[in-house]
A and B are shown apart, each in its own frame.
Chain A
């Protein structure tokens, strides 16, 4: 194992972690307002397709990302309406989104591109290229030669951490997920915050999905989310509902992903699928070690109905 293996591994870890950070942070915002959304996989799928499509049409990865976010929001509004207003079961409706959104994505994909859609490619988002600095060995590539989305992901973590820990709005927001009734008696608009959480969740999931097509691989394939939505869910549990914790969890899962790719390249004789299993098996093991003691926002997954008058 030489140093380039390790530096490549670290670089890949960061890149693989970025979509997870967006998706897991999306769930963090959701659960902090008491909304357990297991539809992340679907939201990311639609974000991924729309991001790809708009990038393909306009040539701009940024417009792609933006439209991916919008698509995520739109689809998640269905979830928000069903769960907040109609009090549908969060899990069941999240599953409905997981079925609906990928179908919608593949529908749009096939309608627009017809058969053979895999052949269409886009130009990936450019990396931020800071002359000189990027030439510093390893650190240069790691810190100064990434796509802006990587910086955005980490900025999001910092912002989220500050928002939940330092701002009044963040405190009020958290109260909605912990004890909506108490929040309501203090004049915090519970329903509005729940909807807002779904907007944020949809947007971030959409961005996470769009990242995969506009910054990572330059084409859209069905199933490209590959369980990242559910790994994102696991990352929120693993990260103990804190922004930094979630980021670390995503880096861990990103590392597993990066490791499996590196190992695939290196090893001969062992079927590559065994390496591909690593992130999934790691998720199971991590969750099993953590145990399922009641944790996270106290009122998550529970319907909230304003007090009868």
Chain B
């Protein structure tokens, strides 16, 4: 290779390596801020700030959804299989919100440990299958495998 071209190649490689290095450093500096939401285990550990708008996400615990019969008030428990957070919400839940499915909530964590949500989003998992297949495998697997699939 011609020396001039070799030099230009080195410059190109250095640009890419330098940019990657910068990205890694920025990523390390921001680390937690790049997460969309706090997991219940981090809320339980006291890492989530109180009285400030944050997001908490996890799996909706089975049989934990309690709806008020008179109002739109609803409460449910989010889990990451190590800790739980009780969430209260007033409003209409998204269609795909379900027990044993993922949800991401935006709101304020109270000093009583209850998360008062202003917005509830359903988090879809990566499983795609026809209804018949879902019916056929139902009960043969533990609900959605291991922790972390929310």
Q: Do A and B come from one complex?
A: no
| B contacts, CB < 8 Å to A | none
Which residues of A line the B interface, CB within 8 A? none
